Structure 1
Amino acid sequence: MKKDRGKVWLGVAGIVINEEGKWLVVKKKYSGLKGMWSLPAGFVQYGETADEAVVREVGEETGIQCEVTGLIGFRTGVIRGEISDNMAIFCCRPTSERQNILIQEMELSDARWLTVEEIAASGEASVMLEEMACHELVQHQLYKKDGINPGDIFEYSAYRLFYNK
């Protein structure tokens, strides 16, 4: 069953990098990314921030628990001249020693830790993933700042700022 997301979509993706410098990549069983290496990703749900959504999506798809360290990029496009498709791409790191992947079999056919060289040379990477694997992204991330209150009048239940230090 396809969820009605309206005509403005906000998705998230996580570049989860382990201590060996390998990236967590997945192969979806559906959509235009079927059979291609891509990042764990999904849509922001009501009542959550984009960075909370990426942690949830990575955990749901791969069983890997992680934390957001920064924002790497933002992809935006328009589908068929009518749907605004936007994706925040976060840099993450695993939060536990366990790095055994438990894939969500309904959505994924495979998930692995790969080096950027393996991703770039695979011939099976999505256009976005291949482009990102060819650059030193971590050096250019925007860092997360918690604990900011923009004023009680706005009634935020969660608020984070990502900026260049």
Structure 2
Amino acid sequence: MTIWTDLESDREAEWSPEFGMRLALEEAMRGARLGEVPIGAVVMQGDEVLSRAHNFRETWRDPTAHAELIALRQAALRKGGWRLFDCQMYVTLEPCAMCAGAILQARIDHLYYGAVDTKGGAIVSQVQLYQSPGWNHHPAVTGGILAEECGIVLKNFFQEVRQTMRPRRDV
């Protein structure tokens, strides 16, 4: 199964935080088409895309199959080591505690996220994981990149899920 795609064409594109987030949004949409909660993640080193992933929790029946963890794993394999120094991560939704911890452990330099996760976010919402002074690494964080688009993708997905699960009333 291919987790990242179109790496050659991605390398040639001009870098910007919005570019990275658009790639993450593409991944989120791929996941949505598979019935996964549409969260996408991309790891880049400068203008090179190392990995792209979306959630696989439903498909793999794995509670840890979050887009961020899959993207980190693939980027580490591609780089040949778990330390992802000088790398940036783009995620369509504020990471949960598990993913925020993995991003920290991977030594990602800069985390960009789209929408805020008021229920489970571990960057600014429920927990401010990176605020602890005890960590030996503190990634830079920029939130709100294409936040409206990221939020709409999630909102539309859950509206569709609720409509298909709603019992039918014959009147």
- TM bucket normalised to smaller: under 0.3
- Structure that is richer in strand per residue: 1
User: What TM-score do you get using the length of structure 1 for normalisation?
Assistant: 0.28
Structure with more relative contact order (C-alpha pairs < 8 Å, separation 6 or more): 1
